Amino acid sequence: MTKKTNKIIEPKILRGTRDFLPEEMARRNLVQQKITSVFERFGYDCIDTPAIEYAETLLGKYGDEGSKQLYRFKDNGGRDIVLRFDQTVPFARVVAANYSQLPMPFKRYQISKVWRADKPAKGRYREFTQCDIDIIGTKNLLAETEIAKAMLAVFEKLGFKEFIIKINSRRLINSILDSLMVKQEDQPAVMCALDKFNKIGRAGVIEEMKLICDEKTIENILDATLLTGTNSEKVEKLEKYDIQEVKNFLRLCSQAGISETFLEFDPSLVRGLDYYTGIIYEVYVNGVDIGAVCAGGRYDDLCGLFTQEEFSGVGVAFGFDRIVVAMETLGLLNDVRLNSEVLVIYFDEETLPKSLEVWNQLQSTGIDTEIYFEPAKLQKQFAYANKKKIRFVVLCGPDEVKENAITIKNMDTGKQKTIPQSQLDSYFKGYTNL
């Protein structure tokens, strides 16, 4: 690298944004590949939408707080532009513009970056990745069941052993609050308080609810929603409310092979957003205290603002960054390597043709292989391999060339081994965890 004399710009990035260097990116890519492979196994197809949208498309869709957090600017042509804030509103726009061509019900997944001018904090960024699946165009509970099954499959695929998918029904909560005579207009605030149960505890919830209803009502609400026991025991206790949807859903889940070990009916589960109308979900991972790693539910009229057509749907968002953090915490990403498995040493000019032949041989076999670019000291080439976490170094010096052999060095164990060049591909092909 040659030094230049012109003025240097400080190589900095905006607050709340991140660079991902190869090691971190390798882990993120692996997580994303695993998640996508499950989505695709369930038949979800991928869509993408622009990072920039007309301001009018997104303005007013995320409440007062959300609107303040939109990245909004005039482009060079004077157009009023916003950055993608979530994937749901653009999805609604896509459906409204294309529904006649789309298969219905329509299942899609989308993984892309979104931007929010939020206050950056630990685990909260201004640019981050969202990862959603949605099914629209059916009200059948089979859609909810499939989403639950896909959630289960994703977390199993990622290697989580202990996690729980909590479910509840908005219809049920409304029916409980209605029969306890909580006024319609007070219900959102009551749900909001209940939603904080895990954070502020029973006493905290009571304190918040006192501002809305009397003590007797509060006690009744908590009695109805904070239940213990198996799913069917909880269902039994709530028979007098609108529980049919939960019953049907749990039955379908059981028939679809979702074990109760991973599925908990929690009548106190609320979900913050008020557009949910039916079954809602949240996933928690044991042993990592970062809140829900996946959440969502049934909503009606997704595209109401963009078309007269009504589309009911159900969908969940996987918290990509949180999932990566949880996996790192649990050591599930310890063995992720970078892309090269083998480095072919550039020994000297004389043996270079042989090294290139070996490089070509491994490349054709499909082994991720690179060759060092300079005939540098072995020490330096080994150090390069170590820095890139390359597991094997392959060397053909003058002795090897004479014998038609290859020396393989395992950089993890230090073990060195010389085999005939003709066996090189089968050696790596048969290697147990390559």
Binding site for another protein (CB under 8 A): 408, 410, 413, 415, 417, 419-420, 423, 426-428, 430-433
Tokens (6 digits) for 216: 């007797």
As measured in angstroms, the least distance from the Cβ of 365 to another protein is 13
Using the minimum distance from each CB to another protein, give the nearer residue, 309 or 425.
425
As measured in angstroms, the least distance from the Cβ of 336 to another protein is 16
Longest dimension (CA), the chain: 92
Pairwise CA distance, residues 204 & 182, whole Å? 19
Beta bridge partners, 127, equal 115
As measured in angstroms, the least distance from the Cβ of 197 to another protein is 42
As measured in angstroms, the least distance from the Cβ of 217 to another protein is 53
Using the minimum distance from each CB to another protein, give the nearer residue, 339 or 423.
423
Determine contact, residues 180/216, Cβ cutoff 8 Å. Answer: no
Pairwise CA distance, residues 189 & 179, whole Å? 17
| Phi, psi (degrees; rounded to nearest 5) at 196 | -90, 5
Determine contact, residues 346/153, Cβ cutoff 8 Å. Answer: no
Query: What is the identity of the amino acid at 92?
Result: A
Using the minimum distance from each CB to another protein, give the nearer residue, 311 or 428.
428
Using the minimum distance from each CB to another protein, give the nearer residue, 68 or 429.
429
As measured in angstroms, the least distance from the Cβ of 391 to another protein is 9
Determine contact, residues 267/234, Cβ cutoff 8 Å. Answer: yes
Helix residue ranges, H only, 264-376? 320-329, 352-365
State the DSSP code for 121. Answer: B
Rg (CA), the chain: 28
As measured in angstroms, the least distance from the Cβ of 420 to another protein is 7
